[in-house]
Structure 1
Amino acid sequence: MPDTGSDTGSAQGVLVLAATPIGQTGDAPPRLAAELAAADVVAAEDTRRLKRLTSELGVTLTGRVVSYFEGNESARTPVLLAALLAGERVVLVTDAGMPSVSDPGYRLVVAAVEHDIRVTAVPGPSAVLTALAVSGLPVDRFCFEGFLPRKAGERSRRLSGLLREERTMVFFEAPHRTQAALAAMAESWGGDRAAAVCRELTKTHEEVRRGPLADLVAWAAEGVRGEVTIVVAGALARAEVDSDPESLRAAVAEEEASGATRKEAIADVARRSGVPRREVYDLVHR
C-alpha cells in the first residue's frame, strides 16, 4: 500500500504525481497500480486513456475519477485543492510521463505547496531522460526547453536566446512541426550542430535519427509521425577574451557577425573577459 504519511498536518490530504508509461505498459512503476487503487480521487488528463491503463494494469479504481487537462486546469484546480484540504489522497496522471513536465499539474502543485499540503511522486518513465540517454550527445549537463513557440518569429527569438547555451538541450515537438523546428534550429545555430530526433520512444516503431541539423531537416521533409523529442548539442565553450580595448571591440564585432545582437554580444564578451559590461559598452560605442 502507498505510504500515507504527511509532513505537518494529518488532517490534510496528499497530492501524488504519478508517472505513466511513455510507450510500453510494462514500464509502469510498481507503485503506480497501488496508488491508483488507493486514491480517493484520480485526476487524469484523458479519462479514456486512464481506463485503458487501469485495464492493462489490472487495477480497479475505487475513488472518483475527474478530468484534468489544459482546457479545464484553471477551473478544476480549486476543486482538487478542496479535496486535498478535506484530507483526501489525490493521484494525478497525464497521458504519458510525469505530470507538470510540459503537462497539466503545475498549478495544482503550486496551490498544494501554498497550503502546506504534502506533494510526493511516483517516479517513472520520462521522455526527456530517455531521449537524452539514447541521443549519443553529452549528458553531464543538460536543460529541458519544452515545446518551442508555434509562430515563426517567436520561435526564432527563443532559439536566438539559446545561441550560446553550452548544455545539451532537449525539446518536445509535434510531428507536423518537426521539420520547421529543425530548420529554425539549423538557421539559428548552424546546420552542422549535432542533434538527434527520437520518435516513438519505447514503442514498436521507435526510431532515433542522429546527425547534423541540416541532415535531419532533409530527413524530416518526408514527414514525421508519432511522439517526437529532439536533443541538440550545446554550443562549444567560448574562449576567454583579452581585456585590452582592441580585443574587446573585435570580440563584440565577431559575436555580431555570427548573429548575436549588440546587447547579447556585449554581455557575452563581458562575461568571457571579466570586464564589466558597462566598460565593454563604452568601448564599443566610443
Structure 2
Amino acid sequence: MTVDAQDRGVRVWLVPTPVGNLGDITFRAVEVLRGADAVACEDTRRTGALLTHLGVSRPLVRLDAHTMGRAGSVLERYPRLAYVSDAGTPGVSDPGAELVRVALDAGGDVEVLPGATAFVPALVLSGLPTARFTFEGFLPRSGRDRRERLAAVAARAETTILYESPHRLADTLADLAGACGAARRASVTRELSKKFEETARGSLAELAARFAEGVRGEIVVVVEGCPVTDDAGVDIADLEGLAVDLAGQGKSARDIRDLLQAQGLRKNDAYELAVRAVNAARTP
C-alpha cells in the first residue's frame, strides 16, 4: 500500500531511548512519544515497559527487520508515527533506516531527535584517538565478508568502533587479534549507564584472554588504528594526536607546524596537520 504524504500529513520521528539508565530519556523525547498517533518499535514488550515507566499511553506497533515490509500500511493508519529501537538512537544498526526511506519516498517529513547512543560514550571511554573514527556496526558472522571486513579494520589508520553480541565477543576479539596483531590496543565497553558498566582496555590479545569465557550485556568494541608512517618512517597518527593537543592548548598553526617538523614530519604535511587541528579546535 502506498502512502499519500500530502493528504495524510505523514511525519516520522526517530526517538532515542536509554541504552541502560532510564533517566537518560529526554523531556523532548517524552513529549514526542505522547503526541504521536502511535509508537512503532522492534519489541513491543520492551517498549511497552518503557512507555509504562514514562506514563505514556499510545498504540504500539511492531516494526522490526521481519515486519518492516508493512511500514507503508502502518503510516497509512498512523501518519504521525514515533519510532524507537530497543535502545539508543534508531536508524543505526537497526531497521529504523528502512522506515526513514519509506517515509521520504512517500514525500513525508522525518525528524531525528538527539539523544542516547552507545558508540560515542564507548569511543571516548576507550582512551584511543577520537579525532577520526569509523563505525563498523556488527561484523558479518562468517565467511569471506567477515574476513574482508577484518582486513579493512586492520589496515585502517583511524579508530574503529564495532558492536558485538555477548556470545560472539570472544571469537571476534580473537579474530581481530589475528587480523590486526595481538599488540593492537583496544577496549571493550559493556552495560553502558547500568549498575555493572565496565570498560576494559588493553591489547587485543589481553582482551581476548579476559573475555574468553564470555560476558553479559550489550557490547561496544573500539580498536586502535593501524600506525601510518610517511616515507621517512614518521608515525602520522601519533603526530595527528599531538597537533590536536597543541591546538587545544591555544598554539598557532605556525607553532604547531614547527613542532611537527621538529618531530621529523615534512613541511607541507606538518602545515596541513596544523591547520586541520587549529580549525577543529575552533569548531564549537
| The two structures share one fold, judged by TM-score above 0.5 | yes
Q: Partner of 2:72 in structure 1? A: 78
**Does the Cα contact within 8 Å between 1:49 and 1:95 map onto a contact in 2?**
yes
Task: Tell me which residue corresponds to 1:4.
Answer: none
SS in 2 for 1:156: helix
Counterparts of 1:83 and 1:165, CA distance in 2 = 46
Correspondences of 1:14-163 after superposition (within 5 Å)? 14-61=11-58, 64-73=59-68, 75-83=69-77, 88-163=79-154
**Any unmatched runs of 5+ in structure 2?**
234-284
* SS of structure 1 residue aligned to 2:130: coil
Could you tell me whether the CA contact under 8 Å between 2:162 and 2:220 is conserved in 1? Answer: yes
AA partner of residue 209 (structure 2) = A
* Residue 220 of structure 2 is aligned to residue 220 of structure 1: no
CA contact under 8 A between 1:22 and 1:202: conserved in structure 2? Answer: yes
Q: 1:12 aligns with which of 9, 13, 20?
A: 9
Name the aligned partner's letter for residue 80 of structure 1.
V
Partner in structure 2 of residue 187 of structure 1? 178
Alignment partner of 2:189: what SS?
strand
Q: Is the 8 A contact 2:170 2:213 kept in 1?
A: no
Query: Equivalents in 2 of 1:139, 1:120: separation in Å?
Result: 27
What's the offset of the Cα at 1:107?
A: 1.2
Amino acid of the structure 1 residue aligned with 2:160 = M
Alpha-carbon distance, 1:222 to partner: 2.4
Question: Partners in 1 of 2:161 and 2:217 — Cα distance?
Answer: 17
Q: Letter of the 2:14 partner, please give it.
A: L
The answer as to whether partners of 2:10 and 2:75 remain within 8 angstroms in 1 is: no
Distance 1:103 1:240 in 2: 42
**Per-residue CA distance 1:19-58 (angstroms, 9 max, x = gap):** 0000000001111211111111210111111111012112
Corresponding residue of 1:230? 221
1: CA distance between counterparts of 2:43 and 2:49? Answer: 10
Please report the RMSD computed on the Cα atoms of aligned residues, expressed in angstroms.
Answer: 1.9
Q: Which amino acid aligns with 1:233?
A: E
- How much has 1:198 moved relative to structure 2? 0.3
Pairwise CA distance, 1:115: 2.4
Residue 136 of structure 1 deviates from its aligned partner by 0.8
SS class of match (1:139):
coil
Q: Partner residue of 1:248?
A: none
So what's the TM-score if we normalise by structure 1?
A: 0.76
Please give the alpha-carbon distance, in whole angstroms, between the structure 2 residues aligned to 1:110 and 1:202. 31
Give the aligned partner of residue 202 of structure 1: 193
Counterpart of 2:53 in structure 1: which amino acid?
Answer: E
1:34–1:215 distance in 2 versus 1, CA, 3 Å? same
| Cα contact 2:48–2:60 (8 A) shared by 1 | no
Sequence identity, in percent? 41
Shift of the 134–53 alpha-carbon distance from structure 1 to 2, 3 Å rule, reads same
Runs (5+) with no aligned partner, structure 1: 1-7, 243-286
Determine if contact 2:84/2:90 at 8 Å carries over to the other structure.
yes
Distance 2:219 2:18 in 1: 15
Residue type of the alignment partner of 1:159? L
2:10, 2:80 within 8 Å by CA — same for their partners in 1? yes
* Total equivalences in the alignment: 229
CA distance change for structure 1 residues 107 and 174 in 2, over 3 Å: closer, same or farther?
same
